[in-house]
Amino acid sequence: MKKLLLLFAIIITSALCPAQEILDIPKPTKETYIVRNIFDSCQFRGHNLDNVKVRIVREYENPTFKVRQVEYNEDITVRFIENTRSLNSCGQWYIVNGKAWSHDFTVAFVTHGEDFTIRISTIL
């Protein structure tokens, strides 16, 4: 019963709190049609990196991955897609806003101490 009341309180509190501000999504660095990927299976630490829903968070919010945006020598090229699960290609990410329950992993953009580097390609 206590767990049910706690769950109910969390749901009510999250509904009454103002929505989380939308974080700035970095702009594409340059256009490319080739997705370069050093992850052979398009997975990193057990998470798929292809056709995923990603929520962008701040570094102190305990993200799944810390990534650094670069213009060259990236580990993976990322394209932000507008339709979920549209194609089956490594590095295509659909950005979900706010505190969405439906995301595959969270990402924080950092300037150092990253898990891997990305180059953002054109937005589809």
Convert the pLDDT of each residue in 29-84 to its tens digit. 554 444 444 556 788 888 888 888 899 999 999 999 999 999 988 888 898 887 76
In total, how many domains does the chain have?
A: 1
pLDDT of residue 21 exceeding 80, the answer is no
Average pLDDT, the chain: 75
Please report, for residues 17, 64, 66, 87, the alpha-carbon distance to residue 26 in angstroms, rounded to integers and kept in the order given.
27, 18, 14, 22
Residue 75 lies in a domain: yes
Residue 12 lies in a domain: no
Predicted pLDDT of residue 42: 84
Predicted pLDDT of residue 1: 63
Containing 15, the helix (H) or strand (E) segment is helix 2-16
- Whole-angstrom Cα distance, residue 123 to residue 120? 8
pLDDT of residue 11 exceeding 50, the answer is yes
pLDDT of residue 122 exceeding 80, the answer is no
- Whole-angstrom Cα distance, residue 56 to residue 34? 24
Residue 68 lies in a domain: yes
Helices (H) and strands (E) in the chain, counts: 1, 8
pTM of the predicted protein model: 0.64
Tokens encoding 95: 């950005």
Residue 88 lies in a domain: yes
Residue-range definition of the domain harbouring residue 63: 20-120
Residue 11 lies in a domain: no
Residue 95 lies in a domain: yes
Residue 40 lies in a domain: yes
